[in-house]
Amino acid sequence: MSIKISETLTFECETGNYHTFCPISCVAWLYQKIEDSFFLVVGTKTCGYFLQNALGVMIFAEPRYAMAELEEGDISAQLNDYEELKRLCIQIKKDRNPSVIIWIGTCTTEIIKMDLEGMAPKLETEIEIPIVVARANGLDYAFTQGEDTVLAAIAHRCPGHNDKNQKINDKSIQEFFSFLPVKIKEKTNKSFTEKNEFSLVLFGSLPSTVAAQLSLELKRQSIHVSGWLPAERYTDLPTLGEKVYVCGVNPFLSRTATTLMRRRKCKLIGAPFPIGPDGTRAWIEKICSVFNIETKGLEQREQQVWESLKNYLNLVRGKSVFFMGDNLLEISLARFLIRCGMIVYEIGIPYMDKRYQAAELKLLQETCKKMCIPMPRIVEKPDNYNQIQRMRELQPDLAITGMAHANPLEARGINTKWSVEFTFAQIHGFTNAKDVLELITRPLRRNNNLENLGWTNLIKIQKG
């Protein structure tokens, strides 16, 4: 079977199955980001085993999450779910006293039609702690989409603009302008209106240091970030409304974006995502264009980062990579690697929202054209069996895959890198582009070291 790669982006859809990590794993990074929160995962012992194994390394950090295990009596609706959840939440309040409790609904709660949304408001009134309900079941969502459902639920709790206070502020501003000379007043008033009529809120969970870096990059372009969703503390959620522009930093937050636009009436900035120097520059440029600000020194900033990556670029240039699909970061990572000189045979992705990722897809096309290489095909919900057949023919230098397929592929002579590592690593912004290439080149550098030691032929003999 010969595979022809089209000169334009082609989209395909295969089995419809999500061959990904379970989305309840979003608790691993969200509980660290929202420092005054507590996550209660409602599910079976299987869910508990998964959390214990996937997040077990964090046990000594006193994580703020727990498991509400459903027994046979709960599943057959013989027991009172409300009373049990009430008991657990009262215990959580006594032990931790969080600012918010977030219930994570798993597959089982969907199957037995557990009314978490109905119970939460009543219980919230009783225990006097906000309770946010988010569905993160593997039936409907892929790995990183757990964060998407949590942020979409939290977006409903963000404060709105207070019209009364806004009128007072506008009056104070006009009084300030009245003391200025006419020419200065006109110029200042125009500048203020253009730059400060709308505020900017960024959404997506990033480590505090990375969020600070992105905010600083925008500050260098005279753009102030008024808030992040999620904030480090639930009590510091950003104000949302019609005069707020929102921009995402991750490609898997399409439901959050929809909620912010439809429910909170915010204006979405459709930009590529700040992954790699090229993506970060395009992300900043798009935000600046919306606020009518001309960028300064951005091209030089990007060039400096590319110069610092030369050693890595020499390793990856001309190498081929195949994305099996796992964490929805595939389009952004593929675009960055193409810009680095790699050849991408296929981009597998569990779920593709073409509207939310429109700017990223456009940048991918522009990058392929600039690098003079064919456009990779994009396969939504890929069939892993078919992908392995394609990899057997294409023989890529590297496969970025879920944990389940890594060892079998390595045994067949294909270098692999776990896609989950990109989820937990710091990969956003100019300064973290190095970390992406550090992950990508690790298996390639390992092979080079083996060749230098003369072990390559021995390994081939053993595999043969």
Which pLDDT value is given to residue 56?
61
- Calculate what percentage of the chain has a pLDDT beyond 90: 66
Residue 151: inside a domain: no
Task: Round to whole Å and give the CA distance between 43 and 185.
Answer: 61
Mean pLDDT of 39-63: 76
- Does 212 lie in the same domain as 110? no
Is residue 381 within 8 Å of 323, Cβ to Cβ? no
Judgement on whether residues 333 and 440 belong to the same structural domain of the protein: yes
Residue 458 has a pLDDT of 45
Average pLDDT on 425-440 reads: 95
pLDDT at 139: 85
pLDDT, averaged across the chain: 86
- Pick out the residues of the known binding site for [4Fe-4S] cluster: 22, 47, 107
**Do residues 292 and 308 share a domain?**
no
Q: Evaluate whether residue 1 is within a structural domain.
A: no
Question: Do 354 and 403 belong together in one domain?
Answer: yes
Looking at 252, 269, 297, the residue that finishes a domain is 297
pLDDT value of residue 71: 76
Q: Is residue 323 part of a domain?
A: yes
Same domain, yes or no: 284 and 356: no
- pLDDT, residue 193, reads 38
- Is residue 454 exposed (0-12), middle (13-18) or buried (19+ Cβ within 10 Å)? exposed
Alpha-carbon distances, residue 350 vs 176, 257, 347, 410 (angstroms): 54, 18, 10, 22
Q: At 273, which CATH number?
A: 3.40.50.1980
pTM of the prediction? 0.87
pLDDT surpassing 80 at residue 325:
yes
Instruction: Show binding-site residues.
Output: 22, 47, 107
Same domain, 291 and 276: yes
Residues 186 and 271 in one domain: yes
Confidence of residue 183 (pLDDT cuts 50, 70, 90): very low
Query: Does residue 454 belong to any structural domain of this protein?
Result: yes
* Domain span at 72: 23-141
Among 275, 297, 319, give the residue marking a domain's end.
297
- Which residues 6+ apart lie within 8 Å of 419 measured at CB? 323, 324, 325, 326, 327, 329, 330, 400, 401, 402
Four-CA torsion 233, 147, 117, 67, nearest 10 degrees: -80
Q: How confident is residue 28, by pLDDT bands cut at 50, 70 and 90?
A: confident
- Does one domain contain both 316 and 453? yes
Residue 156 lies in a domain: no
Indicate if 291 and 305 belong to the same structural domain: no
Q: Please tell me whether residues 85 and 129 are part of one structural domain.
A: yes
Q: Has residue 4 been placed in a domain?
A: no
For the chain, give the secondary structure using H, E and C. Answer: CCCCCCCCCEEEECCCCCCCCCHHHHHHHHHHHCCCEEEEEEECHHHHHHHHHHCHHHHHHCCCEEEEECCHHHHCCCCCHHHHHHHHHHHHHHHCCCCEEEEEECHHHHHCCCCHHHHHHHHHHHHCCCEEEEECCCCCCCCCHHHHHHHHHHHCCCCECCHHHHHHHHHHHHHHHHCCCHHHHHHHHHHHHHHHCCEEEEECCCCHHHHHHHHHHHHCCCCCEEEEECCCCHHHCCCECCCEEEEECCCCCHHHHHHHHHCCCCEECCCCCCEHHHHHHHHHHHHHHHCCCCCCCHHHHHHHHHHHCHHHHHHHCCCEEEECCCCCCHHHHHHHHHHCCCEEEEEEECCCCCCCCHHHHHHHHHHHHHHCCCCCEEEECCCHHHHHHHHHHHCCCEEEECHHHHHHHHHCCCCEEECHHHHHCCCECCCCHHHHHHHHHHHHHHHHHHHHHCCHHHHHHHHC
Number of domains in the chain: 3
Inside any domain, residue 40? yes
Half-sphere exposure of 193 (CA within 13 A, CB side): 8
Q: What is the pLDDT of residue 265?
A: 95
Q: How confident is the model at residue 106 (pLDDT cuts 50, 70, 90)?
A: very high
Buried b (16+ CB within 10 A) or exposed e, 229-257: bbbeebeebbbbbeebbbbbbbbbbbbbb
Q: For the chain, give the percent of residues with pLDDT over 70.
A: 83
Average pLDDT of span 79-101: 91
Shared domain for 81 and 198, answered yes or no, is no
Range of lowest pLDDT (39-53, 118-132, 191-205, 311-325):
191-205
Q: Give the pLDDT confidence of 377-424 residue by residue, as tens digits.
A: 999 999 989 999 999 999 999 999 988 889 999 988 899 999 999 999
> With bands split at pLDDT 50, 70 and 90, how would you rate the model's confidence at 312?
very high
Kindly state whether residue 106 falls inside one of the protein's structural domains. Answer: yes
Let me know whether 316 and 176 are in one domain. Answer: no
